[in-house]
Amino acid sequence: MNFLSDPALLWLLGGTLGLLVFASVIGWVLAQRASSDAAKITVANLNARTKAWWGMVAVFAGALALGPMGATLLFALTSFMALREFITLTPTKPGDHRTLFWVFFIITPLHYYFLATQWYGMFAILIPVYAFLLVPVRTAMAGDCERFLERTAKIQWGMMICVYCISHAPAILLLLEIPGFEGQNAKLLFWFVAIVEMSDVMQYVWGKTCGKHKIAPTVSPGKTWEGFLGGGLTTVALGAALWWATPFSPLQAAGMAAIVVLMGFAGGLVMSAIKRDRGVKDWGGAIAGHGGILDRMDSLCFAAPVFFHVVRYTFDA
């Protein structure tokens, strides 16, 4: 399935491009009117974010147009880069290097191979069972016991978040067989990614415009109840409005969107707590205006596996 063979996908892409054009025009107008230095900095950041979104949408659309393998390769590369950011901010010791070689160059490619070949059983258990046990064994063989549990947990956590959780996004495309929706999973993946990202954007907008009551000020000062509720409800309404791109009814689409919003918020909060623990604001600088790969994927990390398994349990054949 690609954009050229499904008019609904073209409508989804067209709507996304329309939003980007609108955001670009608003950014240009704000840039012309900004007078103070603070306003100029804020608008410059906004425009940098919008430009980055143009690039991210183009890459995602291109990957979907190439079919399931294109999407799988895109998310595999995303996992690799996200894992690199995670390990960089949670330093390891020389005794961990051989373990990390296994994680980066054997376990991660093997996991995505099982996804690409649609071997659900191995996709589901390779990392949480076999890799989970292999990592401490390989690290112990290096003979360095200092802070062993902490070092091992960092690597295991990195695998779970950056590889296992993220890979459930392309699994929507490859591992779901929904009666009456055969060959249309690309639309469902597009819908899911759109809801994840729009939730982040809407919570940011609502938080900036009317946010007053902070949810967890020591973890993520920018997250407010007004932003969460306003942005969440807006996103749920959007998800329901786009039900035609899914196998869900409007009410089911709203419920699924609510799950995505809730889990995405949880992911952002947890990943922010890790950044605060490491004393940094962003995971990296790979995406202008957004920070690192994980800064853009933190919500998806938590939302993807839950959404995938809820859909698989509820709608899969």
- Lowest-pLDDT range of 103-112, 136-145, 201-210: 201-210
Which helix (DSSP H) or strand (DSSP E) does residue 224 occupy? none
Residue 303 has pLDDT above 90, yes or no: yes
Task: Kindly indicate the confidence band of residue 286, based on its pLDDT and cuts at 50, 70 and 90.
Answer: confident
Task: Read off the tokens for 186.
Answer: 């690309």
Task: Kindly indicate the confidence band of residue 4, based on its pLDDT and cuts at 50, 70 and 90.
Answer: low
Section 95-120 average pLDDT:
96
pLDDT one-digit tens code per residue, 66-89: 889 999 999 999 999 999 999 998
Residue 2 has pLDDT above 70, yes or no: no
Please list, in sequence order, all residues whose beta carbon lies within 8 angstroms of the beta carbon of residue 282, skipping any fewer than 6 positions away. Answer: 275, 291, 292, 295
Task: Kindly indicate the confidence band of residue 210, based on its pLDDT and cuts at 50, 70 and 90.
Answer: confident
Q: Where are the domains of the chain?
A: 1-65, 69-175, 181-317
* Confidence at residue 3, expressed as pLDDT on a 0 to 100 scale: 54
CA–CA separation, 60 and 58 (whole Å) = 6
Task: Kindly indicate the confidence band of residue 5, based on its pLDDT and cuts at 50, 70 and 90.
Answer: confident
pTM (2 decimals)?
A: 0.92
Per-residue CA distances from 144 to 30, 64, 91, 139 (Å)? 56, 44, 15, 8
Residue 1 has pLDDT above 60, yes or no: no
Report the percent of the chain where pLDDT is more than 70.
97
- Average model confidence (pLDDT) for the chain? 91
Task: Read off the tokens for 273.
Answer: 């707590």
